[in-house]
Structure 1
């Protein structure tokens, strides 16, 4: 089987057998999923795909029970997240473990040289092709705790806990701010069952829980799931936090409202898939009279999707950059 993504195509042409290696934060690629070794990922979709193939799959905050002979780290677009992965691998894998780091050139992979040098780890370039580069090094002791990357900040009278790789890390996104400004007059004060889809750092979940809602928060990103749990705990609030790809982990439960600032990027590419499913499948997860309230960039083609799914919708706010939409299940 041939690799599908450029980074995996670069790896496939190496003379390394990669038997039993650990693949860290990889993209979806059937060459990997049906190959050898195990995966360590913060992406629920990737973990589910590997598990469906009967392959060993571990979440970002898990430690693989069997130490691998080597590891390949797929460098993410968020450099601080890449640094977290490096620090974590240095912490959990034995000193001297071979590590290869691969990424797209326009995603900042060449910055890895400076990052490794700052950590006192040697590095050499092994290969380049398909506008990607591959570096190799060996893991060593690093006197930096990976948990030091967690940040706490105050928003709307709430303490928010965030991690690199979480949407809006360390600040309140302008779209979410516009959405929050509309919720007081849109949702009842207490007692409703509300789904926060794509919960990020948990600011919406915490805001809703503080008002007395029964909140379920969902995100495909393990760092977002853990950040939301920590945000709720930091504010002494309760809520259910679930790892899942849109509605996949919700077992048919129906809600009084679904609230979201849905993503439309997958790494550097525009991807309407998750938002399209969020809108299109929302009526199946709402009680009669339940509402979907979302914020989105004004240029995104969501009105047609809302019309198709609900038959009607309204615009609650429009500041030219973002729009807040609401639709009711009839």
Structure 2
């Protein structure tokens, strides 16, 4: 089987014996998923794909003892997230374990050289092709706790937990700010408690804001870092809510809500990907109670009106500041 992604194509041409190795934060690629070794990833979709192939797949938040002969770290677009993964590997794998680091040139793989040097880890270049580069080092204890990457910031009177790789890292997104203003005006307050779903919860700002208003909140994200951030955000503010990891509605077992609220993602690394947002919209009526509401904020250029019209038979543009639009659609609008 041929590798599908450029980084995996570079790895496939190596003469290294990768049997038993640990693949760290990889992309979706059937060559990997049906090959050798195990995976650690914060992406629920990646973990599910590996498990469906009968492979060992763990989250960095699982309590798992790992002693592979080597590991390959796929360097992410978010440089700070790559640094976190490197620190996590140094803290969780035995000193001396071989580590290869691979990534696309446009994704900043060359920065790895400075990061490794700052940690006192040697490095050598193994190969380059497909606009990617491959480096190798050996892990060692570096005396830096990966948990130091967790930070907090204040927004909307709430304390928010933040981690590299989570949407809105360290700041409140302007689209979310616009959405919160409209929810303040239009969504029922604490006098009417409702079951509400925060889809794509990120750092938990929407979930915490809704819980503070007295709603019964469920929050979902495919990103394990976002799930952990939302749990920490709710705890930091003394708020209750259920937080689940899942791919769009996969973790909800047919549950229905009075409102679904989201600032949905449309990027997968550097590529535009409408898939998750499309599923969010198309399947929303099935997960809404009668007269249930879907609230979305999105960049104004995104083609969501056609999806909303098809799924709901109608919708409103509640706010539009030329950069972002807030949409509202109600079940039974046909």
TM-score of the pair, normalised by structure 1: 0.99
Question: Which one of 312, 317, 320 corresponds to residue 318 of structure 1?
Answer: 320
Q: Tell me, in whole angstroms, the C-alpha distance in 2 between the residues paired with 1:207 and 1:62.
A: 28
What is the Cα deviation at residue 63 of structure 1? 4.6
Q: 1:213 is matched with which residue?
A: 215
Which 4+ residue blocks in structure 1 deviate beyond 4 angstroms? Answer: none
Q: 1:241 is matched with which residue?
A: 243
What is the Cα deviation at residue 17 of structure 1? 1.2
Helix, strand or coil: the match of 2:317? strand
Question: Which one of 274, 296, 299 corresponds to residue 272 of structure 1?
Answer: 274
Q: 1:173 is matched with which residue?
A: 173
Q: 2:129 is matched with which residue?
A: 129
> Equivalent residues in 2 for 1:221-240 (5 A)?
221-240=223-242
Give the alignment's Cα RMSD to 1 decimal. Answer: 0.7
Query: Is 1:141 aligned to 2:129, yes or no?
Result: no
> Equivalent residues in 2 for 1:1-330 (5 A)?
1-190=1-190, 191-330=193-332
Q: Tell me, in whole angstroms, the C-alpha distance in 1 between the residues paired with 2:61 and 2:9.
A: 28
Q: Tell me, in whole angstroms, the C-alpha distance in 1 between the residues paired with 2:100 and 2:296.
A: 40
What is the Cα deviation at residue 62 of structure 1? 2.4
What is the Cα deviation at residue 70 of structure 1? 0.3
What is the Cα deviation at residue 212 of structure 1? 0.4
What is the Cα deviation at residue 111 of structure 1? 0.3
What is the Cα deviation at residue 186 of structure 1? 1.9
Helix, strand or coil: the match of 1:231? helix
What is the Cα deviation at residue 60 of structure 1? 2.0
Helix, strand or coil: the match of 1:133? strand
Q: Tell me, in whole angstroms, the C-alpha distance in 2 between the residues paired with 1:181 and 1:51.
A: 41
C-alpha contact 2:66 2:92 (8 A) present in aligned 1: no
Q: Tell me, in whole angstroms, the C-alpha distance in 1 between the residues paired with 2:30 and 2:64.
A: 21
Paired residue total: 330
Q: Tell me, in whole angstroms, the C-alpha distance in 1 between the residues paired with 2:219 and 2:66.
A: 32
What is the Cα deviation at residue 66 of structure 1? 4.1
What is the Cα deviation at residue 143 of structure 1? 1.2
What is the Cα deviation at residue 64 of structure 1? 3.5
What is the Cα deviation at residue 65 of structure 1? 2.8
C-alpha contact 1:196 1:258 (8 A) present in aligned 2: yes
Change (3 A) 1:105 1:146: same
TM-score of the pair, normalised by structure 2: 0.98
C-alpha contact 1:63 1:92 (8 A) present in aligned 2: no
